[in-house]
Structure 1
Amino acid sequence: MIEKLISLEEFWSLREQLPLIDARSEAEFLQSHIPQSINIPILSNSERTEVGTLYKQKGALDATIKGFELVGPRFHQIQKKAIELFPKQKIIVYCWRGGMRSQILSWLLSMVGFEVFRLKGGYKTYRNYTFDEVRKPWNLLVLGGKTGVGKTRLLKALEDKNEQVLDLEDLANHKGSAFGGIGQQPQPSVEQFENLMAEKLRQFNSNETIWLENESRRIGKIIINDQFFNLMGCSPLIDILKSEEERIQLIKEEYASLPKEELIKAINRLKKKLGGLRTTTAIEDIINDHHESWISNLLIYYDKTYQFDLERHDPNKLKRIDLTGIGVEESVKLIMEIKNQLNGKISNPAH
């Protein structure tokens, strides 16, 4: 049997070179998994339930025999699929705890010439790592500002300058507002979001600043864990100011071309907060392509929400900067100066 059991430390370097197979059921994989892995389930959802029930009722021996009875007829299909997907025949496999399912898959593939690296402790070991990683005391610098000041654009520009940027909305497939899910891919589970977050964080130097956007605790259906959310709240925040005209124009650029029916659904989700008249007016404006009007209407609500959220930050750690009429490139230089002041450094002219 050509198999090697590897630790999580060994896994990090090997996965850059080898494909990764998740041997768990479809539902487990859908709920959360190691990013870039491919699901080849040993037991399907229903089979896993059947084996699990038998384990509770009669014990491990009966459950094991039942598992082989169920999956045995598919052994050749699993082997053929793996050969087709991974012609180099060198892979990493894992299951929930690095137990029977990944062992069976490893055995099956080694029988047809694969070199297999099996993750010790399985997905559970990986998940313990990501859980801890997103709860560390990272050195954060938060970009704040009312809706439409261009925080996301600034984050992307900072990343282009090789700054450490954690774009939570990008990881969550959601822009954070009632309109944030329009045109986006389905959101990950909260657990998978934390996996993606940890994958990004582990690339960073923990001694250096990490930029991110000010967020509510909830991004669509994603809920940020308490430790990280509280850390955001007590970290330095740069509050960006822009003219209302600039903000309306930026929002128009991002949302005016989206399907009207989706925009109207988003408006209706805010009906209780907007009130009947403002909701009706906003919908009519969307239908009639009066984009500046409905955006201006909604900014009244979003500005109040932002002001309320801003109050949770320590005023002594808040730096306000007016970027009205200033382009992205110059804006980045100005906020980098604030970063360097906060870090007690002299501004780097290269930025």
Structure 2
Amino acid sequence: MIRRTTDLSAAARAGFHAIIDVRSPSEFALDHIPGAINLPVLDDTERAEIGTLYVQSSKFLARRIGAAKVARNIAAHLDGALKDRDGSFRPLVHCWRGGQRSGAMAAVMDQIGWPVTVLDGGYMTWRRRVQAALYGDGADRQVVLLDGGTGSGKTALLARLAERGVQVIDLEGLAAHRGSLFGALKDCPQPSQKLFESRLFVALEGLDPGRPLVVEAESSRIGARTVPPALWAAMGRAPVVELSAPVAARAAFSARVYADIAADPAALETALTRLPPHHSKETVAGWKTLAREGAFEALAAALIAEHYDPAYRRTSARRDRPVLGRVEMADLSDGALDRAADRLVATLSPQTGEGTSVSS
């Protein structure tokens, strides 16, 4: 018997051995339930062909040809990705709206004897769940911002805080972008806005809303992706923990973090070309010379002092946020970052009052 559900809670999803998305690869790439596997019953070319035939020629012919293609594709999945599944396999199957494509896969699975469940409403049931969580006012979320100039180790400290049991969200990791002019990740394109939101929803889903959530102070856009309204509203109300370190230490750290960009002269040249026009041609030319000479630490120091820090000061001056604490670091070695993380845990503790200043 084919079961049906609309329950997409974390516990319900965990009850299935696999979430099988039978939509086409391009639909899956645009967005999908994180952790789902894509076993399309029609690929992109077949889907377009059948759709065109349905609209422009014969609905009957489209269904007949489509059924043959669907049958062949399901057979290929049974002989491929699903061949090692035994009789206890419990899949959740869905397509776009829970219609014919998921119905075809579920019918075959049911005949095999697998206890299959179809997601009523398909992918759109998932999308509505994500939107409901991320497009509200964010009033149920207690956020603390980790702030500081470029190269102050914010992302590295987020990872260390997570290791120490603090609730964190790495927005740059979810968006596959380091959030700056040089932030694009080589060979790792950003997810679509919808897929970014799905990843964020799952990350938030497992957290306790009664405990603080630490995120890096970002602009509303991370590369080409936008922080959804609910989290952005919570970030706008959030207190901050300010990080600081000398420019030389931050430059050395940035040169290590952005080593992939430094190793790609074309990408570095392109990034420098995208600098705002208020920098003089002579200044930008000097930075490009440093890049061509491989003087990446010197380039990072110049960019921090002349581009990033002035912008950071302007932005900070416009903010009216309570300061929960300050962490000063003499350098950004692993040891210094570990000590800073320990101090941050104390700063974030309910027993620690506002205005705490610590050094490491």
Fold shared by both chains (TM-score > 0.5): yes
CA deviation map 1:65-111 (0-9, x unaligned) = 62342242441342232342122152221111212211111113333
Q: Could you tell me whether the CA contact under 8 Å between 1:281 and 1:294 is conserved in 2?
A: no
Check if 1:42 corresponds to 2:26.
Answer: no
What is the DSSP-based 3-state SS (H/G/I as helix, E as strand, rest coil) of the residue aligned with 1:272? coil
AA partner of residue 70 (structure 1)? G
CA deviation map 1:306-325 (0-9, x unaligned) = 2233245324x124514122
Q: Could you tell me whether the CA contact under 8 Å between 2:166 and 2:345 is conserved in 1?
A: no
Q: Cα distance 1:24–1:281, how it changes in 2: closer, same or farther (>3 A)?
A: same
CA deviation map 1:17-62 (0-9, x unaligned) = 412211112221111111122222233334444555677789xxx6
2:78 to 76, 82, 93: 82
Q: 1:188-337 to 2 correspondence within 5 Å?
A: 188-256=191-259, 258-270=263-275, 272-299=277-304, 300-315=306-321, 317-319=322-324, 321-325=326-330, 327-337=336-346
Give the TM-score taking structure 2 as reference length.
0.85
Root mean square deviation, CA, Å: 2.7
What's the CA shift for 1:333?
2.5
Q: 1:76-115 to 2 correspondence within 5 Å?
A: 76-86=72-82, 87-88=84-85, 90=89, 91-115=91-115
**How far apart, in 2, do the equivalents of 1:208 and 1:12 lie?**
21
Indicate the larger mover: 195-204 or 115-124: 115-124
**How far apart, in 2, do the equivalents of 1:231 and 1:84 lie?**
45
Indicate the larger mover: 226-235 or 71-80: 71-80
Indicate the larger mover: 103-112 or 8-17: 8-17
What's the CA shift for 1:340?
2.1
What's the CA shift for 1:139?
1.0
**How far apart, in 1, do the equivalents of 2:134 and 2:165 lie?**
21
Q: 1:32-181 to 2 correspondence within 5 Å?
A: 32-49=31-48, 63=59, 66-86=62-82, 87-88=84-85, 90=89, 91-135=91-135, 136-137=138-139, 138-181=141-184
Q: Cα distance 1:154–1:3, how it changes in 2: closer, same or farther (>3 A)?
A: same
What percentage of residue pairs aligned between the two structures are identical?
A: 27
Q: Could you tell me whether the CA contact under 8 Å between 1:52 and 1:63 is conserved in 2?
A: no
Q: Could you tell me whether the CA contact under 8 Å between 2:16 and 2:92 is conserved in 1?
A: no
Q: Cα distance 1:319–1:184, how it changes in 2: closer, same or farther (>3 A)?
A: farther
What's the CA shift for 1:304?
2.0
Q: Could you tell me whether the CA contact under 8 Å between 2:54 and 2:61 is conserved in 1?
A: no
**How far apart, in 1, do the equivalents of 2:349 and 2:52 lie?**
59
Q: Which runs of 5+ in 1 are unaligned?
A: none
Q: Cα distance 1:154–1:53, how it changes in 2: closer, same or farther (>3 A)?
A: same
What is the DSSP-based 3-state SS (H/G/I as helix, E as strand, rest coil) of the residue aligned with 2:116? strand
Deviant stretches of 4+, over 4 Å: 49-58, 62-65, 341-345
AA partner of residue 77 (structure 2)? K
Give the TM-score taking structure 1 as reference length.
0.87
Q: Could you tell me whether the CA contact under 8 Å between 1:79 and 1:112 is conserved in 2?
A: no
**How far apart, in 2, do the equivalents of 1:275 and 1:64 lie?**
66
Check if 1:339 corresponds to 2:332.
Answer: no
What's the CA shift for 1:275?
2.9
What's the CA shift for 1:277?
1.3
**How far apart, in 1, do the equivalents of 2:178 and 2:229 lie?**
20
Q: Cα distance 1:202–1:165, how it changes in 2: closer, same or farther (>3 A)?
A: same
AA partner of residue 133 (structure 2)? E
AA partner of residue 108 (structure 2)? L
What is the DSSP-based 3-state SS (H/G/I as helix, E as strand, rest coil) of the residue aligned with 1:230? helix
How many pairs are equivalent? 341
AA partner of residue 96 (structure 1)? W
**How far apart, in 1, do the equivalents of 2:60 and 2:10 lie?**
28
Indicate the larger mover: 336-345 or 281-290: 336-345
AA partner of residue 298 (structure 1)? L
CA deviation map 1:232-279 (0-9, x unaligned) = 121111121111111111112212453222222211121634331122
Indicate the larger mover: 27-36 or 202-211: 27-36
**How far apart, in 1, do the equivalents of 2:245 and 2:234 lie?**
26
What's the CA shift for 1:5?
1.2
Q: Could you tell me whether the CA contact under 8 Å between 1:241 and 1:320 is conserved in 2?
A: no
AA partner of residue 296 (structure 2)? H
AA partner of residue 277 (structure 1)? E
**How far apart, in 1, do the equivalents of 2:109 and 2:215 lie?**
43
Q: Which runs of 5+ in 2 are unaligned?
A: none
Q: Cα distance 1:246–1:305, how it changes in 2: closer, same or farther (>3 A)?
A: same
